[in-house]
Structure 1
Amino acid sequence: MAPQKLKKPPQSPPLFTHTPQGLMESTQRLLDRNQALQDRVVKDVSLSNADFKNVLLPFAQDTNEMSLESHIVGFYQAVSTDPALRDASTEAEKKMDDFFIESSMRDDIFQLVDAAFKKQKDDQSLDAESRRLLEKEHKDYIKMGLGIPQGPDRDRFKAIKKRLSDLSITFQKNLNEEQGGLWLAPEELEGVPQDVIEGLKKGENENAGKLWLTFKYPDYLPLQKYCKNAETRHKVFIANENKCNQNVELFKEALILRDEAARLLGYPNHATFRVEDKMAKTPKTVDDFLGDLRVRLAPAGLKEIEALKKLKQDETGSADNYFLWDYRFYDTLMLERYYQLDQNRIAEYFPLSTSIEGMLNIFEQLFGLVFVRVEGKDRADLSETGRGEDIVWHPDVHLFSVWDDEEQGSEFVGYLYLDLHPRDGKYGHAANFNIQPGFINANGTRRYPATALVCNFSKATPKKPSLLKHDEVVTLFHELGHGIHDLVSKTTYSRFHGTSVVRDFVEAPSQMLENWCWTPSQLRSLSKHWSYLTPEYREAWKASAAEGEQQPPEQMPDDLIQSVVRTQHVNDAIFNLRQLHFGIFDMTVHEPSSHAAITKLDASATFNRLRKDISKMDGPEVLGANDDWGHGEATFGHLIGGYDAGYYGYLSSQVYSADMFYSVFKKDPMNGKEGRRYRHTVLEKGGSQDEMQTLEEFLGRKPSPEAFYKELGIA
């Protein structure tokens, strides 16, 4: 716990007090200010005297200031309980996107940026981060069509960019607002954990006696993992694959428009346009990597499926097929039967509250941080309005002020928010959202960041706390890794802050930290049996225990820890083939042979065919269904939300994360000296320098894929 003197941060947390009307007014004010700045720079600066200081710097500083409000404007659509505020957030984001598309296509400003770039691109009197900003901003204008001559083609390019923005926002809104599910009879749910069943809404009238199972993670995943009724798993799987079919046409339109825009810029396809600025540089590099991994993994995947089919045969007497809706069920059964992995018993040792405390403690030891929970009167004291409820967007949200420990200088670092449970209209997966980036103010002082984890774990009940399965522990640790990256970053410009790195590196820091969830000492330190949390929970445990059963040990026993650790790579090939399916689908739809080819492409059929070819699992097509039986691309938010021609980054960044972990942390994961070196060498840099340079500085050499391949057993 931080010393008392650290408890009053030098910067108040942001306020979440917007009304729908106020949100739109704030947005317009920000855009008016930026418009005035653009006009002023064009009026005051000539091509002959244009330089970084009078052209790029004013815009960078305005972007810094604007980001303090603009990120929150867009954030409401992911977390607000007020539909009107979510709608206003969506509308405001569209308004901002349209404005910045117009702004980034102003030829008069581009001419000034171009003049400054030609004059100072190699100017060593500019610091390295400023030179990088100059280079990136100049490239952005080119990529926004300023290299296209004035005329119909440039006008068309602008129209495409605006439509793509609308498509992205509407696509994600449809996902956030999704309210689908199925009414199921209790007998259809045989095997599903009782605490999940107790949390389902009970039917009335024509649905009396039935239970409403949603497609949200806390309902859907336990059903797929534990439901013994294959027909129920099948029915729910198909319904889930078709839950947002209004996005099918939006996805297809985005593919066609992206391809057209890339060709207007002179690229052969959208993938070439997107990959150019990533670590991979060319689609061929990506395709070769994914193709090589596919060849290496395929034999192991088939072997794993054969073992799972044998298990299915033993259970059902028939195993001609291994279906997509068999995947999670028999994987879970295999872990329980052959590896003695009792997921529900393990979950008893991971109450959400103590798991978070344990994770934050690891980050404290590793990175020299201190997390101070802000609640009750402390919230009111921190709030600029004096009202504690104004500095969170929902009563369930946890808030921490984050500090350097004494050895690191006891300075303030930023704010961390945790929004952990599902609710209507909320973002449906697990993600880290930057609320306010850090940067250097115009007067030279530091602006501190605020970052939020938005997740969907089950809520506690009077009889039992929220308990995490081990894979949920890994997910939480992964997202917290993004949050730490966001908090400890120290860049001059908000553009490069934290996780604002290239897409094929952004996952590496969080993926590396996942290894701590497979380390025996860390599993023990994270664990605490839920019956020790409160006297009430102890009594609830007693009431549910068998007669004469002893209270379990407070921390996870060694046999249970080992049952977790030895399953780390069980069915790894199947999991990574699934990731390969996503990555290869992404590259396939963004590398058409011609524009005519993308207009004719059936994205749903392509998604399903590739899934069968790559994952080696059967879908409904073997039962006579057409190839468009499901529309997985309609829920593939990554490909509309910034990972287009970039999903491969989840796999390629594992190369970097494995290399960093095995080279530096494997022998001693809690080595604080190396943890602090990693913090300052990798996380602190954000995107302020070339990511390969960051990696090489940390490793002391070029990265190697050997640790990754060795970990998968395919070296």
Structure 2
Amino acid sequence: MLRISPFWLALPLFLGLVLILAPALRFPALRLPLRAARPLSPSPSSARLSPAPPSRTTSRKTLTTATMAPAAFRVPPQAPPLFTGTPDSVVADTKRLIDLSRAVQDQVAHDVSHDAASFDSVVLPLAHDENTMALESHILGFYQSVSTDSKLRDASTEAERLMNDFGIEAAMREDLYKLVDAAVKKNQKLHPESQKLLDKEHKDYVRNGLGLPAGPQRDRFKDIKKRLSEIGLEFQKNLNEENGGLWFTRDELAGVPEDVLSGLKKGEGEHEGKLRLTFKYPDLFPTLKYASDPATRKAVLIANENKCNQNIPLFKETLLLRDEAARLLGYPNHAAFRIEDKMAKTPKTVDDFLGDLRQRLTAGGADEVKTLKAMKQKDIESQNKQFDGHYFLWDHRFYDRMMLEKDYSLDHQLIAEYFPLQTTIRGMLEIFEQIFGLVFVEIEGEERAKISTSGKAEDIVWHEEVQVFSVWNDEGEGSGFVGYLYLDLFPREGKYGHAANFNLQPGFIQKDGSRRYPATALVCNFSKPTDKKPSLLKHDEVVTLFHELGHGIHDLVSKTIYSRFHGTNTVRDFVEAPSQMLENWCWTPSQLKSLSKHYSTLSPAYYKAWKENAGNKPDPKAEIPDELITNLIRTKHVNAALFNLRQLHFGIFDMAVHEPKDHDAIKDMKISETYNRLRKEIASLDGPEVLGQGYDWGHGEATFGHLMGGYDAGYYGYLSSQVYSTDMFYSVFKDDPMNKKEGRRYRYTVLEKGGSQDEMTTLKEFLGRDPKPDAFYKELGLM
């Protein structure tokens, strides 16, 4: 998913310095493009510790770049950005950028008369300023999500607050608005992308309060925007800094894989003999899937839903302020304001879509719950315990996993052995190379120093674990430079907690006509490797990784004139479609085979560790066996109705809180109760409310970063964009996913365009017709 800093969403041109992020997960709260995953693990020592075939020794360099790198390292024509910020420099640089940008605005306002106002004299200087500012501003705001230095994170948050405040100031400059208005009325013949920029700039001023009369109303609107900015930063900071957890004995964690348990903090003193389970994904999800004690799963789920309760009042205040601001502008509610500029255009379109999908899925969801409940009953009674008649939220991951293992012979742990993080990433990059005509070259060691403008290798990354690639076109596409790709894959304290794609520097055309190349980063939280195993990806993590890399590729291959429209800067209900379409490669037998490599083949140390546990089992095949692939693909739509109903819960809750009938309705709404009640009604999974605790037992909305980061009145886009993504895949790629001709056509027709033209136009050009929902509903078995 892509998350945007809330206040840059509707601000004019020079405010386009938004961070593009992307969180993920599957069931507990939000779900990013589709799941979460990805870290690169250094290989263990290459010393031969036990006999193993020669093919089992492969160096890290070979794993990541052998088939991708050209014969000789090429120095990119553009140096990578530096990550040398300090708490003092980040704030100072932010103030410097603001002063420079304000000076550009002041100069335009001073030098251009109403009669002389045109695109070139008014909007173009502001666009160039936005482009230049983004080269630094994105990184200044990025530190809060990745730095290990709490003071630097705080400074980065302060930098974003300063930028947001300046953005609000700039968005409400009446002198500039009048000049842009005059430029619009000139009706000049412009390049289509310039025309879109002019139209959007004009509309954004109106949507930011300049359609209101000067005085109390406009002042109130500005105050609301500033307060919303403060809340958004505080809300996300609370999520980033969250470091809670629970202590359990090993007995209470029975069933949880040893790989997980071995990585948990060991207790001392009052917690002697216990292990500390955090709410980070590598701890949380395996516990909910494998812990055999339902009391443990219950405790974990409820605690996770209450891990950021300081955000409860912030979320409610946000809803009130958004609604007030929308009504000041003449909209009936915030949803009407936000959806107006999306593909859906109206809340009714969204409500009808979500309602229709809910109706189609409800019966299937009820049948799935019935089947899973019967499995739970059989399991409980086999332990000579009394079945309680309920199928709880904390039961679902556990029995969903049990069903896959028992009924479909699907062993997630076994499958994960074939997807070590390093080789899986290599395989994914090779797929992108083949279908899009790209080359990825990992930059390591002395090569980093060669291209660093500081001469220091460490300055081109923000943490020692980060990998960086230079990306090029292959010979067939001209061999030119494309940009930089960064991978930051393991969890650490203070780091952004989901999976996200951050634009670090956008691409655009510079004043001299040359192209500025983009830099993009994947920030993820995969389990770290151990001495005995590399980081291994479950299949749903493989899908998430492919999806997130898809966002990164979108960011890299985009070629727009203005940074405003670069890459994933599209409307929210389309932006997920390109990456969602690419997920289909992870359900294609030939591609699963090419992505796989059993971890025991990577080094003698790994082979020895595998052999210690395997006993007399024969050595595993290097690639995933066909039988496992067949079993995996059979499960693609197992319990899919429940999964999509949970997605509907998020989307319908989002609309419910942003589409009140009047302002008093949102004042009186009990947000947490609404969140939990809708989940029960839509997904039919029991929570503590059925045990007499009421619907206020958890506060999932306080962890719902999507609704504070750009997906407000837009979460439905995860489902609606699947209509487009499924249509594209089935119409173009299903029969031959590795079709190079169609892959390049997709690159240049869809990905390269970014948001530079109407997204529906982009879809029609690629499909050769209007998009249809038929493939989406067929895929879900609803047609």
Q: Please give the range of the TM-score, normalised by the shorter of the 2 chains.
A: over 0.9
Equivalent in the alignment of 1:698: 766
1:374-393 map, 5 Å:
374-393=443-462
Instruction: Indicate the residue corresponding to 1:148 in structure 2.
Output: 212
Q: Deviations over 1:100-123 (max 9, x none)?
A: 101110111110011101213xx3
Could you tell me which of 56, 67, 80 is aligned with 2:134? 67
Q: 2:10 maps to what in 1?
A: none
Partner of residue 614, structure 1 = 682
Matched, 1:139 2:203: yes
Residues 306-360 of structure 1: per-residue CA shift (max 9 Å, x gap): 1111110110022511100011000000000000000000000000000000000
Measure how far apart 1:2 and its partner are: 3.6
Tell me the CA shift for residue 30 of structure 1.
Answer: 0.5
Q: Tell me if structure 2 keeps the 8 A contact 1:310–1:319.
A: no
Which one of the candidate residues 340, 353, 360 is aligned to 2:422? Answer: 353
SS in 2 for 1:246: helix
CA distance in 2, matches of 1:695, 1:709: 18
1:441 corresponds, among 510, 514, 517, to 510
Contact 1:279 1:505 in 2 (8 A): yes
Aligned partners of 1:167 and 1:254 also within 8 Å: yes
CA distance in 1, matches of 2:713, 2:73: 44
1:5 positional shift: 5.6
In the alignment, what sits opposite 1:276? 340
1:166 maps to which residue?
230
Task: Confirm whether residue 339 of structure 1 aligns to residue 408 of structure 2.
Answer: yes
Q: 2:585 — aligned with what?
A: 516
Aligned to 1:459: 528
Amino acid at match of 1:255: L
Q: Distance in 1 between matches of 2:319 and 2:471?
A: 42
Count of aligned residue pairs for this structure pair: 711
Secondary structure in structure 1 of the residue aligned to 2:503: strand
What letter corresponds to residue 622 of structure 2 in structure 1?
E
- In the alignment, structure 2 segments of 5+ residues that lack a partner are 1-67, 382-386
Identity between Structure 1 and Structure 2 (%):
69
Aligned to 1:672: 740
Q: Which amino acid is the alignment partner of residue 421 of structure 2?
A: L
CA distance in 1, matches of 2:149, 2:95: 21
> How far does the alpha carbon of each residue in 1:155-176 deviate from its partner, in whole angstroms, 9 at most, with x for none?
0000000001111111001000
SS in 1 for 2:78: coil
| 2:104 pairs with 1:37 | yes
Measure, in 2, the Cα distance between the counterparts of 1:533 and 1:167.
47
Aligned to 2:365: 301
Kindly indicate whether residue 169 of structure 2 is the aligned counterpart of residue 105 of structure 1: no
**Distance in 1 (alpha carbons) for counterparts of 2:450 and 2:111:** 44
Separation (CA, whole Å) in 1 of partners of 2:408 and 2:272: 40
* 1:224 maps onto 2:288 in alignment: yes
Q: State the SS of the aligned residue for 2:186.
A: helix
The amino acid that maps onto 2:170 is S
Q: Which has the higher helix share?
A: 1
2: CA distance, partners of 1:667 / 1:487 = 27
Once the 2 structures are TM-superposed, how far is the Cα of residue 225 of structure 1 from its aligned partner?
A: 0.5
How far apart, in 1, do the equivalents of 2:406 and 2:456 lie?
A: 53
CA distance in 2, matches of 1:593, 1:545: 62
Partner Cα distance (2:708, 2:290) in 1: 32
Matched with 1:417 is: 486
For residues 120-169 of structure 1, give each alpha carbon's deviation from its aligned partner in whole angstroms, at most 9, with x where no partner exists. 3xx33x10000000000101100000000000000000000000111111
- Is the Cα–Cα contact under 8 Å of residues 167 and 250 in structure 1 kept in the other structure? yes
Matches within 5 A, 1:538-687: 538-546=607-615, 548-687=616-755
SS of residue in 2 equivalent to 1:92: helix
Q: 1:521-574: per-residue Cα shift (whole Å, max 9, x none)?
A: 00000000000001111111112222x221100000000111111111111000
CA distance in 2, matches of 1:334, 1:398: 38
Give, in whole Å, the separation in 2 of the partners of 1:100 and 1:233: 44
Q: 1:677 to 1:6 in 2, by over 3 A?
A: farther
TM-score, normalising length from structure 2? 0.90
| 8 Å Cα contact 1:6-1:410 kept in structure 2 | no
Per-residue CA deviations over 1:35-64 (Å, capped at 9, x if unaligned) read: 111111111001111000010000000000
How many Å separate the matches in 2 of 1:597 and 1:658? 37
Are 1:312 and 1:319, in contact at CA under 8 Å, matched by a contact in 2?
no
DSSP 3-state at the match of 2:600:
helix
Q: Aligned-pair distance for 1:627?
A: 1.1
Q: Aligned with 1:689: secondary structure?
A: coil
- Secondary structure (helix, strand or coil) at the match of 2:127 reads helix
1:9 aligned partner: 76
Matched with 1:195 is 259
The two structures have a TM-score, normalised by structure 1, of 0.99
What's the CA shift string for 1:640-692, capped at 9, x where partnerless?
00100000000000000000000000000010110000000000000000000
Partner of 2:696, secondary structure, is coil
Alignment of 1:304-315 (within 5 A): 304-315=368-379
Conservation of the 8 A alpha-carbon contact between 1:113 and 1:138: yes
Indicate the residue corresponding to 1:186 in structure 2. Answer: 250
Q: Give the conservation status (yes or no) of the 8 Å contact 1:368–1:405.
A: yes
Larger RCO (CA within 8 A; separation ≥ 6): 2
* Structure 1 gap ranges (5+): none
SS at match of 1:184: strand
SS in 2 for 1:189: coil
- Looking at structure 1, the residues matched to 109 and 212 of structure 2 have their Cα atoms a distance apart, in angstroms, of 21
* One-letter amino acid of the structure 1 residue matched with residue 185 of structure 2: K
Matched, 1:241 2:309: no
Q: Give the conservation status (yes or no) of the 8 Å contact 1:498–1:685.
A: yes
| Deviation at residue 424 of structure 1 after TM alignment | 0.3
Q: What is aligned with 1:287?
A: 351
Matched to 2:704, the amino acid is F
Alpha-carbon contact 1:2-1:405 (below 8 Å) kept: no
**Matches of 1:451 and 1:280, distance apart in 2:** 28
The one-letter code of the counterpart of 1:634 is A
User: C-alpha separation between the residues in 2 aligned to 1:327 and 1:47?
Assistant: 63
Residue 207 (structure 1) aligns with: 271
| 1:500 aligned residue | 569
2:462 matched to 1:398? Answer: no
CA contact (8 A) 1:350 1:527 kept: yes
Residue type of the alignment partner of 2:253: L
Cα drift, residue 6 of structure 1: 6.1
Question: Take 1:41 and 1:358, find their aligned partners in 2: how far apart are those partners?
Answer: 50
**Aligned residue type for 1:473:** V
1:579-598 deviations in Å (ceiling 9; x for gaps)? 00000000000000111111
Pick the aligned partner of 2:143 from 76, 79, 97.
76
- The equivalent residue for 2:32 is none
SS at 1:452's partner residue? Answer: strand
Q: Is the 8 A contact 1:592 1:598 kept in 2?
A: yes
1:366 is aligned with what amino acid? I
Please tell me the residue identity of whatever aligns with 1:37: V
Q: C-alpha separation between the residues in 1 aligned to 2:71 and 2:502?
A: 29
SS, match of residue 91 in structure 1: helix
Q: Equivalent residue for 1:482?
A: 551
Deviation at 1:517, TM superposition (A): 0.4
CA distance in 1, matches of 2:588, 2:688: 39
Q: What is residue 254 of structure 1 aligned with on the other side?
A: 318
Q: Distance in 2 between matches of 1:335 and 1:382?
A: 49
Tell me, in whole angstroms, the C-alpha distance in 2 between the residues paired with 1:539 and 1:617: 44
CA deviation after TM superposition for structure 1 residue 3, in Å: 2.7
Contact kept? 1:309, 1:319, Cα under 8 Å: no
Distance 1:3 1:337 in 2: 47
RMSD: 0.7
